Structure formats: structure tokens, C-alpha cells
Structure 1
């Protein structure tokens, strides 16, 4: 999955749906979710974006049913990784995950309000 292509498509989609104010944060969150799915699992991954009732939901599916590691309360100074879900938690209005079917992977999501 090419992250630059995904980012530009997400930005274009949000602009076409009159939500350009969400582009920067949505791009950051989508990148973090997809990066985690690719970096920490073996197998395919996919990004899904949905807008309904004033809420943008961004999610990443991967084939590994293992729950995501909880974000650290405080990232170590100088740490170059391990901050992805911490960024998601800090920038999104809500986030979570759920297993997909029996051993078919998981879906990690976050939400942004359009207001």
C-alpha cells in the first residue's frame, strides 16, 4: 500500500465532500493506523474511511487478530517508534478496535467530528 497515494486520495476525497478542514489530522491518523497494520502484522492490510452524521471514521483492517498494544502513557524521550497509537489517542475524538470474525484479523478505528 503506497502511503503517498493513500494520503493524496484521502485529501482529495475530503475536499470533494467539503471537509478539507479535516485533511491534515485525517491524513496523520490514517497514516498511523495503516503503518501499524503493515509494520506489526504479516499479511494484507486495508484502509477504510466513512463519513456519516458529522463523524469521519478512519479504520485499518489487518489479518492479525492480536489486539493492538495499548499506547504508553508517556513515550520515552528520543523513542523513534511506539508513538502511533498515542498520536491517534491524542488527535482523534475517539478510537478503539474490534476483532473481525474468528481469527480473520482486527479493525482499528478512530473518529473525528466535522464541527
Structure 2
């Protein structure tokens, strides 16, 4: 797993360290490393490269419209887990699936509904 967030690295580390989760990720990628932010897919392409996967076999979990746009533009399996902004018609055209929470994402992965390798 990789964190590919538009947030600053200090913020990413603070949140992950608070939950003792930093070591669960193969890479941490911050939006401040790029000149263009989401919806440009560059951050996700960099994450896939760190994982050694292609976009078509890489799951992007997003709660933001620009994140969903970036995932779709990059050819990723893009799942929207809405937080503050609910999915609209544009998002429904772009994402692979919408899940109400991460438990639903896990269930879909276990059932092989998102990635064939799950």
C-alpha cells in the first residue's frame, strides 16, 4: 500500500504516526512533490511505480472529486468513499465503484469485485 495524498508530508506523517500506521505503507507520497496536483494523475502514477503495478491493477481510494478525476484520468481502479462531498453524476461516470466505508471496500475486494488479484 502507498499513501498518495495532496497533503503536506508533515501532515501525512503526523496522522499516520498518531495511529502507528506509518510502517504499513511501502511509500508515502505528498502532493508537495509535484508541480501539478489532482486531478492530474501524476501522484497516482508515481504510487503505482513505487508498487510495481500498472494503473489497471492498482486500486485508488478517494473521497474527493479531484482525486476521483485523477484516478479515472490515470486509468486506475478508482473507488470513491465519500466523506464531505457526496458522489454526483460526474463522479458516477468516472469511478469504478462507490463504497459507503472501508469495510465495504474490503468486502468487495474479498469478493473479487474490484481487482482480480484480491
Q: For this structure pair, what is the TM-score category when the shorter chain's length is used for normalisation? A: 0.3 to 0.5
Which structure shows the bigger proportion of residues in helix conformation?
2
Q: Provide TM-score, normalisation by structure 2.
A: 0.32
Report which of the two has the higher share of strand: 1
The TM-score normalised by the length of structure 1 is: 0.32
Higher relative contact order, chain-length normalized (CA < 8 Å, sep 6+): 1
